Amino acid sequence: EDFDRRRAVELKHGRLCMVATIGMVWPDIFGKFDGYLSPSQNLKFADVPSGIAAVTKVPLEGWLQILLVAGLIETQLLKDQSFGGFGYAKYGAEPGNFGTGYWGRKIQDPAERKLKLTTELNNGRLAMIAMSGMLIQNGLTGQSPIEQLTAGHISPFNDGQGFFAFDPSAELGACPPLGYWDPFGMMAFQDEEKFRRNRELELKHGRICMVATIGMIVPDLFGRFGGYLSPSMDLKFSDIPCTIEAIYKVPTFGWLQIFALAGAIEAKNQAFPENYGYPPFWGRINTLEPEEKQKKLLAEINNGRLAMVAMAAIVAQNGATGQSLVEQFTTGNLNPFVGGYAQREGDAKDKVALRAEFGSGAGKSTAIPWDPIPEGLSNDIFNNTYVGDVGFDPAGFAKNQRLLPWYREAELAHGRVCMLAVLGYTVQTSGAKFEPFITRYPTDSADPLKAATQVPIVGWLQIIVVIALSELWRYENVISKYSQGVQPGDLGWNPTAPVSSPRPKWFGPTFTAAYQPEEWNNMKLREIKHCRLAMVGFFFMVLRNASTGEGPSLLPNLTTAEFQSSVGDFIPRDI
């Protein structure tokens, strides 16, 4: 019954979107109706645009007529045979079958009928996606699909950005090392007014985060205000922690004051985002040279961006550990010379304490402190079999314990490949190449994505053969022997495995025999962390490369004048 109802809904929306898609295109190609849509409002059909703006043009009487016709069709004229109307269902009939046939005739051949119905379903699904795309493009650009095509904005031979007089890549903030960075295309087809709006938001949030970052640190370092925050609640300033919990400590009247102050500031702000009329730089704004002024404004933007990232990281760390930033430093969790949680595993007391604090005892996930531990996970980062288990499984993969070793195997395999890929991506985009060339024809392979198209077919066959042999070996020696004691991802380096454990005879723990079991768990925890980071990092490397046409190399930027003065001219000449 549920399937029939969903299929009927799918067909109805698909049919509507097929008609709507034609309606979005037809008027601009073949013209609109003559005459008036609403004589009383002096509204002609020619005045109605082919886009979302048309919704605001239709008069109230027009909407009533549309709803009336739709209601008659739904309840009387073309009533789906699967449903009797007004809540009375007749399941067993065919969803979407109005009894009208195909152009008024019923198809007798079962094979032809099945083909026609499948075609209708697929066309309806395509039309729903197309309609969504048309509406989004129309909302972003203000143009109908035909206007976008004729203006060249969605031409496959250019990026469309050049058709706008305003170029955001030339504005302040497009600077090394990323240059103009807009991987999600948020500024595509935007005019100067919308850019100013986005710049206003960027500056405002950056300034708030710069203050907030300091506010998260100063109280723990230099102390808090004396006295009471709320005498009626007997709440002192010293009772407010430098963590997310502070949100729940502030009384209601305090929040009202904060919102009132923020509202007053927002309501009065009518100036350009870079100039509110206050005396910036201690009143020296009019005495600054143009270059120095631009430098300071750029520094503010970059510091604001850094503060937004830093604030997000501080809040995330606080949510994961329950500690403020200063507390994390003083306990060694963020000490660059200590391994944090993993380093403490050598001490049994610390290990027990950590498990009590971040383990499954509290019944909450380490990764998402406000959520319960997902089914099938231990929420123990020192789990000998699945090191790095922090209780994060939003898709519910761990529910199937039989497949869990396969998932860990896949995670490690992809993570290891991505660690190599990140290294290879960076080296290649920095200009390093092997000599001689991979083919007898010189190729420019500094761009990894372009390089993929330059590899000859014989090269790809070699790559595929090597991968296939590696996968077969891994299946034979690791995956197929989980039941015999081999752990996921164990290629034969595990020094804690029993001597009788099945392993490739030519490997063995030659380089890892010096590690104690606890130290080996440290190594495995570090590996899984680096694997996860590499998978995310490689994804964004490819995304940046595809969106900008340049790989993530920092070397060309470090050799520029603005970087040489700050980091030193340490890059070899002619690199």
Domain boundaries, the chain: 2-151, 192-330, 403-567
- The pLDDT score that the predictor gives to residue 567 is 43
Residue 532, annotated as binding a ligand:
yes
**Residue 416 annotated in ligand binding:** yes
414 is in an annotated binding site: yes
User: Which long-range CB contacts under 8 A does 66-71 form with residues at least 24 apart?
Assistant: none
Q: Do domains 2-151 and 192-330 have the same CATH topology?
A: yes
Share of the chain above pLDDT 70, in %: 72
Neighbours of 38 (CB within 10 A): 16
Whether domain 192-330 has CATH 1.10.3460.10: the reply is: yes
99-113, 209-223, 233-247, 351-365: range with lowest mean pLDDT: 351-365
pLDDT of residue 280: 54
357-364 CB contacts, 8 Å cutoff, 24+ apart: 357/322, 358/321, 360/391, 364/391
Instruction: Give DSSP secondary structure letters for 459-523.
Output: HHHHHHHHHHHHHHHHHHHTGGGGGGTPPTT--S--TTS-TTS---TT-SSTTTTT--HHHHHHH
Q: Is 411 annotated as a binding residue?
A: yes
Residue 244 to residue 422: CA distance in whole angstroms: 34
pLDDT digits (tens, 9 = 90+) for 310-363: 999 998 888 877 888 888 777 766 655 554 443 444 444 444 454 444 444 456
For domain 403-567, give the CATH number. Answer: 1.10.3460.10
pLDDT one-digit tens code per residue, 447-474: 788 777 777 788 889 999 999 998 888 8
With cut-offs at 50, 70 and 90, classify the pLDDT of residue 82.
Answer: low
CB 127 within 8 A of CB 17: yes
Report the relative pairing of strands 43-44 and 228-230 from DSSP bridges: unpaired
User: 43-44 and 36-38 as β-strands: parallel, antiparallel, unpaired?
Assistant: antiparallel
Global pTM reads 0.40
Summarised one tens digit per residue, pLDDT across range 529-541 is 999 999 999 998 8
Q: Mean pLDDT across the chain, nearest whole number?
A: 76
Q: Which fold has domain 2-151?
A: Chlorophyll a-b binding protein (1.10.3460)
Kindly give, in sequence order, each residue whose CB lies less than 8 Å from that of residue 278, ignoring residues fewer than 6 positions away: none
